[in-house]
Chain A
Amino acid sequence: MAKKHIDEATGVETVGHEWDGIEELDNPMPRWWLWSFYACIVFAIAYSVAYPAWPLIQKGTEGVLGWTSRGELAKDIASDQARRKPILAALAATPIERLPDNPELMRAAIAGGKAAFKVNCVQCHGAGAAGSSGYPNLNDDEWLWGGDLKSIETTVIHGIRQPGDAKTRTSLMPAFGRDNMLTSQQVAQVTQHVLSLRGKGKPNAAGAQLFADNCASCHGPTGQGSREFGAPNLTDAIALYSNSPEAIAKQINTPSHGVMPAWGQRLDPATIKMLAAYVHSLGGGEDFQEAAPEVNNTPAVETHGQP
């Protein structure tokens, strides 16, 4: 033990350490401090009795008040569900065509759809709904199956190429090259013609003729596409896959066919309406032109090599 050292000026004992000539006085603490400390201990004990606190081997102590964070969460979820109930009921009762008449419900639907999209749709269409090669961009003004609320809802419910759903959207592009419907020279000619529809490539009579014979039934005589068959517009700037000659030739030879789940089997109608409203709100949504085309299941061309 170090010798007791008394500070001369104050007559108080020092704690016995020295830092660069500075010594610390060992003044007593105020007594209320001690009481505050005891009060903290009492509080801590009371708290750990009242609330879940001590980890045991299997589980923790539960606390006499019965409070749990999980219970708190369940309460929050229940109250949120109660809050959403009238909105969901109103959504379920409103045909989607009537949704725009009720701007407040529409806003709620868009907000809910945004959340549902983040859970169900971003895996293919991306977080910003911008898609990627083969997955349509939902922000733009090109629609394979129609961009009004009703058409979008139908697409979401029945999906694309869903064997279990009789009303699913199906478009089928034949594998012209692989199935020997066109020779490779002919594929090249059609490719040039398709490019020329966008003002690129070399317009050629042979390609035009082949297009009229093989492609116009779905894509239309001028290549403007058809929503009835989900056939993309070939004259605009947006390509589902790519605008390069190689990609076009590949699509003619061995086409890719997109699929999308039939969400009607997995999500409730209100959620699907919300999703449709959200996708419609992204900037490319269309007004109702006429009655939305009924789902068409009849392939326009004899199918070869159906998946």
Chain B
Amino acid sequence: MANLDPSPATATAAHPDKGAAAPEHRLYAKREPVFNRRIDGPFRRFKWFVMVVTLAIYYATPWLRWDRGPYAPDQAVLIDLANRRFYMFGIEIWPHEFYFVAGLLIMAGIGLFLVTSAVGRAWCGYACPQTVWTDLFQHIDRLIDGDRNARFRLYKAPWGPSKIARRLLKWAIYLAISFATGGAWILYFADAPGLMRDFFSGNAAPVAYATVAILTATTFVLGGFLREQVCIYMCPWPRIQSAMLDEKSLIVTYKNWRGEPRASVKKAEKNPGQFGDCVDCNQCVAVCPTGIDIREGPQIGCITCALCIDACDRVMKDIGRPRGLIDYATLEDCKREQAGEAPRPVWRSLMHTRTLVYSGIWAAIGFAMLFALGTRARTDITVAADRNPPYMLLSDGSIRNAYTVKLRNMQNRPRDMKIALDGLPGAVMWTDDMPREKAVRDLIRKVPADTTDVVRLYVVAPEGTVPQEYGFTVQSLDEAAETDRSDIRFEGPETSQ
């Protein structure tokens, strides 16, 4: 395969005598645009699959409905910032249950450790939004401008009607996709059909328009123009993820002991045994979405998308050499293979101590969260004692403490709840909306659906009551009969007068 590649990347990619002469020193480098060639293969197909699935999830999720009855929104996944609720299918999270969200974030973090220690930067290569949108935009490029060579020619061509028309069309499509990206984002924060109507009739909140505008602009610039620059210069993940890799992680590797020295098929046939398998066709460079040459070794620009594997495997097939000159391999396997040992099956590479430990932690957190979700009560009481003054001596010698009690009804129906004093003999309580003469030891509050009822409670204990611990209990008066309890201290004079 002759090297007809016209792209500037090729010229630098080949560097036949790199390092021989001192390079010209420049402070700033112009971006070399990447014109990556279309390729097909198992990894490319997997990348398509991930792209379709992630985009489908992103765009479809806000439209999923979930019947929550008359008192709550019917959107399956909704981050209701105004009312401080997070809905996710059958799960409803209140602000004080934020640890579930924290747990999810920790699981996401450990999940990333797990994936990285197993298959390298697969997140970067397949699932990262920057990758997905860049990939999408690169397909648009190919659709409008053609494949690698055509795009390079157009890039070099002077501005003319055809080039301007193509550019405008392309940017219009970029813009439409960017707008759809920003538009879908806000649907997670409000009822989607209603917001959609408001948005296009100009009645949505200014923050909705601002969010869409910002996300449209960033998608347009980052996905349409900056692309691999984001991965190489802006994103902190490559730095962090590289730190999670070790010799046992599967990464995309060029097997230089097998490939070098490079030579064309013809030359190799003439000199058997003198050259390696790489025919220097540059296909691996041509398909790379970040425009790097994997044959230079592992580098920060590589997002482990494996498209170069697809490309090289195709070349090897064409010339009748075994596949895998570029392949997913662990550094340990590389050493083993170099020494002539048989390669280990992929599952052996995936299951090493680190991945097993990460999986264990990940699963443990997951089960703990599921357990907490399954057993959490939808009734909750919290009691805050007045601190200033901590207690009050009344004229008949009795001692009064005041509390702010919060009763949470986290069900989407109104419920009666019974608050009762637990302990503190002789004490009675009343609320600020009932007369003291009617003070009781337990009282019933009607708590509306999905709300927190804030009650101001006075508790009075007979003269001579010493400071002590006691509690408030709450019980929902329905078939669930959920209970909760809050411990609190009764304050009073240390010695009775």
Is A8 close to B, CB under 8 A?
yes
Least Cβ–Cβ distance between B290 and chain A, in angstroms? 13
Decide: A7 and B19 in contact? CB cutoff 8 A: yes
What 1/0 mask marks residues of chain A from 276 to 297 whose CB sits below 8 Å from any chain B CB?
Answer: 0000010100000000000000
Is B427 close to A, CB under 8 A?
no
Is A33 close to B, CB under 8 A?
yes
Decide: A238 and B18 in contact? CB cutoff 8 A: no
Is B156 close to A, CB under 8 A?
no
- Bound-complex Cα distance A9 to B295 (A): 12
Taking a contact as CB atoms closer than 8 A, the residue among B26, B27, B395 that contacts A236 in the complex is: B395
Is A57 close to B, CB under 8 A?
no
Decide: B458 and A283 in contact? CB cutoff 8 A: yes
Main secondary structure of the interface of B (DSSP, over half): loop
Taking a contact as CB atoms closer than 8 A, the residue among B22, B28, B229, B400 that contacts A4 in the complex is: B22
Which residues in A have their C-beta under 8 angstroms from that of B394?
Answer: 140-142, 237-238
- Bound-complex Cα distance A142 to B296 (A): 88
Q: A11-B23, A128-B389 are in contact. Are A30 and B29 (CB under 8 A)?
A: yes
Which residues in B have their C-beta under 8 angstroms from that of A9?
Answer: 19, 296-297
Listed by A's residue number, 8 A-B pairs whose Cβ atoms lie within 8 Å are A11-B15, A26-B25, A31-B31, A32-B31, A128-B388, A137-B392, A140-B395, A236-B397
Least Cβ–Cβ distance between B396 and chain A, in angstroms? 7
- Bound-complex Cα distance A137 to B296 (A): 82
- Bound-complex Cα distance A130 to B347 (A): 72
Q: Which of A249-272 contact B (CB under 8 A)?
A: none
Is A243 close to B, CB under 8 A?
yes
Decide: B19 and A8 in contact? CB cutoff 8 A: yes
Interface range on chain A (Cβ under 8 Å from partner): 35 or more
Decide: B226 and A32 in contact? CB cutoff 8 A: yes
- Please count how many residues in chain B sit with their CB below 8 Å of the partner chain's CB atoms: 34
Decide: B29 and A31 in contact? CB cutoff 8 A: yes
A: which residues have CB within 8 A of B? Answer: 4, 6-13, 26-34, 126-130, 137, 139-142, 233, 236-238, 243, 281, 283
Which residues in A have their C-beta under 8 angstroms from that of B29?
Answer: 27-31
Which residues in A have their C-beta under 8 angstroms from that of B46?
Answer: none
Decide: A283 and B400 in contact? CB cutoff 8 A: yes
Decide: B395 and A233 in contact? CB cutoff 8 A: yes
Which residues in A have their C-beta under 8 angstroms from that of B28?
Answer: 28-31, 33-34
Which residues in A have their C-beta under 8 angstroms from that of B19?
Answer: 6-11
Decide: B396 and A237 in contact? CB cutoff 8 A: yes
Among B26, B297, B387: residue with most chain A CB under 10 A: B26
Is B487 close to A, CB under 8 A?
no
Is B58 close to A, CB under 8 A?
no
Which 4 interchain pairs have the tightest Cβ spacing? A128-B388, A236-B395, A130-B389, A237-B397
Q: Which of B278-300 contact A (CB under 8 A)?
A: 296-297
Other 5 A-B pairs with CB < 8 A, given A28-B26, A236-B397, A238-B395: A128-B389, A130-B389, A137-B389, A236-B395, A237-B394
Which residues in B have their C-beta under 8 angstroms from that of A27?
Answer: 29
Taking a contact as CB atoms closer than 8 A, the residue among B31, B386, B389, B395 that contacts A237 in the complex is: B395
Decide: B233 and A33 in contact? CB cutoff 8 A: yes
Which residues in A have their C-beta under 8 angstroms from that of B15?
Answer: 11
Nearest neighbor of B29 in chain A, beta-carbon distance: A28
Among A12, A128, A237: residue with most chain B CB under 10 A: A237
Is B393 close to A, CB under 8 A?
yes
Taking a contact as CB atoms closer than 8 A, the residue among A4, A29, A32, A237 that contacts B463 in the complex is: A237
Which residues in A have their C-beta under 8 angstroms from that of B231?
Answer: none
